[in-house]
Amino acid sequence: MTVKVPLRYRIPWKKIVLYVLAIGFALYLVLPFYWIVAMSFMHEVDAISVPPHWIPSSPTLENYLGFVNPSESQALVGGRANEETPYSLRNSLIVATCTAVLNLALATFAAYSFSRLKFKGSQVLLVLYLITRMVPGIAIIIPFYLLMRSFGLLDTYLALILSYTTFALPITIWILKDFFRSVPRELEEAARVDRCGWFRTMWSVFLPVAAPGLVAAGVFAFMTAWNEFMFALFLTSTKAAKTIPVVAANFATDFNTQFTVMAAAGVLAVVPPLLLALIFQRKLVQGMAAGSVKG
Amino acid sequence: MELNRRQILKYAALGASLPVTSSLLSACSSGDDAGGASDGTVKFEGWDYEANLVQQNLDRFRQQNSIKVDYTPITSAQYVQKVVAEFTGGGGPDALYVYDDSLAAWVEGGYLQPLDGMAGVDDVYAGIFPGNAEAMTYQGKKYGLPYYTDSNSLTYNAGILAKAGITKPPASLEELEAQALKIKNAGILEYPIGLPAQLSDTWWSWVWALVHGSNGNFFGTDQAPIMNSTDTVVKDVFAWLQQAANKSKVLDPASLQLLPVPVDNAMKAERYAYTIGARYAARDYNDPAKSKAAGMIKLALIPSLDGGVHGTVSNTRMYALAQDTDVKDNAFKLVTYLGGLDADKKPYTAKFWFMQRGLGFAYKSMAADPEVTASLKKFADPVVYAKLAEIARPRNVLTVPWYTEFEAELHKVVQQVLSNQTTPSAAVASLEQTATTLKKKFS
Amino acid sequence: MSVIEARRPWSDTAKAYALNAPAMIVIALLVAYPIVYSFWVSLQRNNLKRPRAKRFIGLENYRSLLTDDAFLSALRVSALFVLVVLGFTVVLALILALVLNERFRGRGLLLSLALLPWAMPGVVNGLMWRTIFDAKTGALNGLLSQLGLIDTYHAWLTSGTGAFFFTAMAQVWNTLPFSVIILLAGLSTIPSELYDAAKVDRAGAFQRFGQVALPWLLHPLLIVLILETMNAFRAFDTIYVLTGGGPGDATTTIALLDVQTVLTFTDFGLGSAYAWVITAITLLISIGYIGLLYRKGNFEV
């Protein structure tokens, strides 16, 4: 006969496993990033020392100040990457925000139709949207470049916003249509009884309830735009429109590489989208939730 | 605005049967090159080596000629692709830097125009070394004025060699390995030899230098591959590289991750005793403001398989004029200012680069210029420096349009040799096959 | 009244297409045209370096792929890369999502950390891992030697297998968050009564996962599989910065080869053919995934 161990003596295996896993994952996720954060506050000598300094021994802000007012040696790095960094952050912010907004506007209408209307060809259309995402960017970069050139849009925000919108649109439509389906129809019907017009119903009743889905889709579009490299490389050529990945790549491939400045640029490139993700953290999971349960 | 010639040409070249819509669209577009043409501004592009010095020199040009120059430095790693994309789209520069590596392809693509018959061009070609003139000529036409040229040397740190009791640089590859081993065994450096062997779009001069250094060739005079048949040097050089990287372990395995600049930094920090690269690097290595190794860095001839003196490789970087420039006169003035002779028949900018950064020059007259020789003495032995220029040969396949493809394959194969993923004989066999396939494909 | 009656209400189909019109126009104009154009180019001999040799050659570019060593090698590398990245991503994301689905102190912090890699552009991710894997000054070397696990610093990215593995790991780190969010979202919708019922039945943790969570997770897993397959097949930024495809062609994936073919070699015809092969493969795999789930009877677009 087995002896029943009194509850308070039982080893809480589940808790232990949980905490071990949580701490392991936390370290895995944060340590690589911590390393470039630490480096970004170091002098170059400390950053390349052996063994490494895990904590900056004499912390400095010079790598960050160099973006505003580059020293002579910093100015040479990466085809003026230093002086272009602040501009590229501004450009990335504008491009990513506009992409997110434009995406939501376009995707909301489309997604609404899939979630509320039964219509011929809806399944084909949904799959067609997704197929446009399966063609790799390199296949369309040349015709796209020519197209933007004939629109006179090279080296402008609009060229990037338009391309990223088309990149993100298929997925945002999928995220949104799933979420919209989880919004009860009764809401709109109630509003209609109150004689609200369709647009007012959408605006003041439907969309607020669908907010988590919109947040998830919006953040997704923002990230898509923020992270893209190849189209940005070819569609832009000056600090008027270059985005942060393009400038960051210059730090890597340049004649005069400095680990610390590169690290500082990397940190700056991560902070804005990270803040965005953190602010919307809870809604993000909620927003994806409805979508992933059922098609 | 109607479709301008540049666009029509490019669409035709691309076969971009971009249908009616785009013609209409471009008819509505503002046409961003029209603005440049109206006030004569020259759109000028180059890779980003010392962009601030370039700008400084361009400011002087602007003051002298009151011609505006819109200068865009492009990251060297993406230079070729970016320029090709711009020309393809019809928005290319008016004047630009060109690698001798890309000349044939860019002429074939219709990006550049010949300079024959323009003012002063013949004087320039008469005043430079024949190898440089040849490198800027394609199918009998002159396409460039020289930016700089350089040949490769074995660059070594005499201080480290002395510490290991070595007094003379190696003449043969065997000797180089033995010396490096001595340094390694003395505990001075784990890996005495470092080479830039990360995949990139720029050429690996040191491979060519080693092959030319032993009087070898990848190709015969008719550009047929001979590295796997009549010429055994390539295979033997590969065998040496593999041995140095994997058996004696004197060649740093991290080389596979190194671009030229990190190698420079390592030389300046005395982390390598030997490297192979352009002569001008020695100026930086010997600059006390930038380098711990200052005063210790010396140039030597490329060590060969048999210990004899045979050669090295040289390259030519040039300024060229775009085929479709709307500001041809101004752009040519700029190209002349940069690569040609000034009113006193002096190559101003070529000398500027030598004095500022030690970049090698194509002009014969500069070799006798007292200012130049005085400056040279500060970073290199003039005798060795001149000898390297004398025995250097350009690559004999630059005129084929598939050169870039071959060079890319060469990098891969050499990386495989260094990381022991293939044998030297398999490596040359695969190179030969690639070259044959490319030749057939492009015939 | 007659005016309103005369105005027939739109049919659902008409309404739906009107609502889709803006998205369809943007996509048709900016993507559909380039896609069709690139397919047309893939049927041509079209190399910028040889404008005069340009002509229509039908399926010749595709036929040449069968004997194209560079292409076949890249295809192998890509297939392996997708397998490794997908395997690690799914397993790690699943465990992390299960952990985050529990209640414990610090859960909010862990969720925030899980979003961190998502905010990192692929190029920056490549740069970051390059400083970590660096042979001379890298953090990985520093850490391992301080822990006494290695005697001398290693050049991690210089052997074929090493470069492949570490590149795949850098890619996994970067793509993990999106999968975690989707899986966590899926887990959060499981009614807690189901778990309670399983607990009453004294089901162990593993059984609970298999019987309760897994069926609910099939759909999110499918989305993760499709999206991550697409991503891994097209992965470029991180690999480009980290190894450039080397050593040799150990990390030259089909995406890297394609970029080189189009942009460095300016062979648009062949490059477009490569791209269409990537598209076809991605499409086939996606159809495979969907078919698999459809048979399970719970898929509805």
Instruction: Kindly determine whether residue B262 and residue A146, on different chains, have CB atoms separated by under 8 Å.
Output: no
The predicted structure's pLDDT at residue B273: 97
Residues A288 and A214 in one domain: yes
Over residues C248-268, the pLDDT tens digits come to 899 999 999 998 898 888 888
Q: Does the pLDDT at position A248 exceed 70? A: yes
Pairing of strands B69-74, B42-47: parallel
Q: Using CA of residue C158, residue C162, residue C164, residue C166, what is the dihedral sign?
A: negative
Which structure tokens are listed for C32? Answer: 């559909």
**Is B25–A151 a contact, with Cβ atoms under 8 angstroms apart?**
yes
pLDDT of residue B267: 94
pLDDT band (50, 70, 90) for residue A76: low
State the complex-level ipTM.
0.88
Q: State residue A73's pLDDT score.
A: 64
CB pairs under 8 A between A and C: 294
Name the packing angle between helices A244-253 and C122-133 (round to 10°). Answer: 30
Distance from CA of B222 to the nearest CA of A (A): 35
Per CB-CB distance under 8 Å, the chain B contacts of C159 are 419
Query: How would residue C7 be classed by pLDDT, with cut points 50, 70 and 90?
Result: low
Per-residue pLDDT, averaged over C137-154, amounts to 89
Domain that holds residue A18: 7-72
The predicted structure's pLDDT at residue A74 = 66
Q: Quick one: pLDDT at residue B68?
A: 94
Is residue B45's pLDDT more than 70?
yes
Say if B423 is an interface residue toward chain C (CB within 8 Å). no
Q: Are the Cβ atoms of C116 and A106 closer than 8 angstroms?
A: no
Interface contact B85-A145, CB threshold 8 A: yes
Q: What is the mean pLDDT of chain C?
A: 86
Instruction: Name the residue ranges covered by the structural domains of chain C.
Output: 1-42, 61-295
Query: What mean pLDDT is predicted for residues A155-176?
Result: 92
CA–CA distance, C177 with C168 (Å, rounded to integer):
16
Name which CATH class applies to B5-21+32-149+315-377: alpha beta
Model pLDDT for residues B86-106, shown as the tens digit of each residue = 888 777 899 999 999 999 989
Whether B403 has a pLDDT exceeding 50, the answer reads yes
Residue B175 has pLDDT above 90, yes or no: yes
Residue A256 shares a structural domain with residue A116: yes
* Residue A25 forms part of a structural domain: yes
Q: Are residues A17 and A130 in the same domain?
A: no
Taking residue A243's Cβ as centre, other Cβ atoms within 10 Å add up to 32
| pLDDT band at A290; cut points 50, 70, 90 | low
Residue A1: inside a domain: no
The single-letter code of the amino acid at C149 is L
Average pLDDT over residues A169-191: 84
Rounded CA separation B150/B170 (Å): 22
Provide the token pair at B314: 């040289």
- Report whether B389 contacts B360 (CB < 8 A): yes
Residue B169 has pLDDT above 90, yes or no: yes
Q: Which of A39, A138, A294 sits opposite C131 (nearest CB)?
A: A39
Mean pLDDT of C159-186: 93
Neighbours of chain C (3+ CB pairs under 8 A): A, B
- Please tell me whether residues A88 and A67 are part of one structural domain: no
Minimal Cβ distance to B261: which of A75, A147, A255: A255
Cβ atoms of A263 and C188 within 8 Å: the answer is no
- The end-to-end CA distance of chain C, in Å, is 40
Nearest CB partner across the interface for A76, out of B22, B52, B72: B52
pLDDT interval class at C187 (50, 70, 90): confident
Under the banding of pLDDT at 50, 70 and 90, the label for residue A94 is very high
Q: Is the pTM of this model over 0.90?
A: no
Give B-chain residues touching A146 at CB under 8 angstroms: 11, 14, 16, 18, 22, 88-89
Which chain C residues touch A171 with a CB distance below 8 Å?
227
**Measured between alpha carbons, how far is residue A173 from residues A127, A168, A226, C92 in Å?**
11, 9, 19, 27
C160–A contact, CB cutoff 8 A:
no
Q: How much is the average pLDDT of C54-80?
A: 92
Nearest CA to A61 out of A71, A52, A51, A53 is that of: A71
Say whether both A14 and A122 belong to one domain: no
What's the whole-number average pLDDT of chain A?
A: 84
Lowest mean pLDDT among B76-85, B221-230, B328-337, C69-78: B76-85
Phi, psi of C46, deg, nearest 5: -145, 90
Quick check: A144 pLDDT over 50?
Answer: yes
Q: How far is B421 from chain C (nearest CA, A)?
A: 8
Same domain, A161 and A271: yes
Percentage above 70 pLDDT, chain C: 91
CA distance B234 to chain A (A): 29
Asked if residues C160 and C248 have their Cβ atoms less than 8 Å apart, the reply is: yes
Q: Which residues pair with B392 in a beta bridge?
A: B312
Q: Which of B48, B82, B85 minimises the CB distance to A255?
A: B48
Instruction: Tell whether A195 and A246 lie within a shared domain.
Output: yes
Expressed in percent and rounded to 5, the helix, strand and coil fractions of chain A are 75, 0, 25
pLDDT computed for residue C53 by the predictor: 82
User: How many residue pairs from chains A and B have C-beta atoms closer than 8 A?
Assistant: 82
Residue numbers in C near A126 (CB within 8 A): 301
Q: What is the pLDDT of residues B249-270, one digit of tens each?
A: 999 999 998 888 889 989 999 9
Q: Using an 8 Å CB-CB cutoff, list residues of chain A that contact chain B.
A: 75-76, 78-80, 142-143, 145-147, 149-152, 154, 233-234, 237-238, 249-250, 253-257
Rounded to whole angstroms, how far apart are CA atoms B305 and C116?
A: 54
- Count of domains in chain A? 2
Please tell me the predicted confidence (pLDDT) of residue B118: 94
Nearest to C51 among B13, B416, B419 (CB): B13
Q: What is the pLDDT of residue C117?
A: 95
Q: What pLDDT is recorded for position B259?
A: 84
Confidence band for A88, pLDDT divided at 50, 70 and 90 = very high
Average pLDDT, chain B: 88
Higher-confidence residue of B28 and A104: namely A104
Classify C61-295 by CATH class: mainly alpha
Output C78 or A139, whichever has higher pLDDT.
Answer: C78
- C-side interface with B, Cβ within 8 Å? 37, 41, 44, 46, 48-51, 54, 134-136, 152, 155, 157-160, 243-250, 252, 260, 263-266, 268
B28 falls in which pLDDT band (50, 70, 90)? very low
We report the CATH number of the domain holding residue A105 as 1.10.3720.10
Q: Are residues A186 and A65 both part of a single domain? A: no
Round to whole Å and give the CA distance between B262 and B268.
10
pLDDT band at B27 (very low <50, low <70, confident <90, very high): very low
**Amino acid residing at C271:** G
Would you call C165 exposed, middle or buried from its count of C-beta atoms within 10 A (0-12, 13-18, 19+)?
A: middle
Give the tokens for residue B329.
């006169």
In CATH, B151-314+381-442 is 3.40.190.10: yes
Can you give the pLDDT at residue A143? 85
Q: Lowest-confidence range among A24-28, A108-112, B19-23?
A: B19-23
CA atoms of C191 and C187, how far apart (whole Å): 9
Among the candidates A72, A100, A129, a domain finishes at A72
Whether A2 is in a domain gets the answer: no
User: Mind spelling out the 3-state secondary structure of B193-236?
Assistant: ECCCCCCCCCCCHHHHHHHHHCCCCCECCCCCECCCCCCCHHHH
pLDDT at C78: 94
What average pLDDT does this structure show over A14-33? 94
**Does residue A6 register a pLDDT over 70?**
no
Task: Chain A: give the shortest CA distance to residue C62, in Å.
Answer: 15
pLDDT at site C220: 84
Tokens of C83: 């397998």
C82 φ, ψ to 5°?
-60, -45
> For chain A, which chains pass the contact test of at least 3 CB pairs under 8 Å?
B, C
Asked if the Cβ–Cβ distance from A80 to B51 is below 8 Å, we say yes
Q: Are residues A85 and A207 in the same domain?
A: yes
Two tokens, residue C203: 């089901």
Report if residue A53 sits inside a domain: yes
Q: Best-predicted range by mean pLDDT among A247-251, C212-216, C297-301?
A: A247-251
Indicate the residue of B52, B89, B262 with minimum beta-carbon distance to A145: B89
Residue of A nearest to B10 (CA): A146
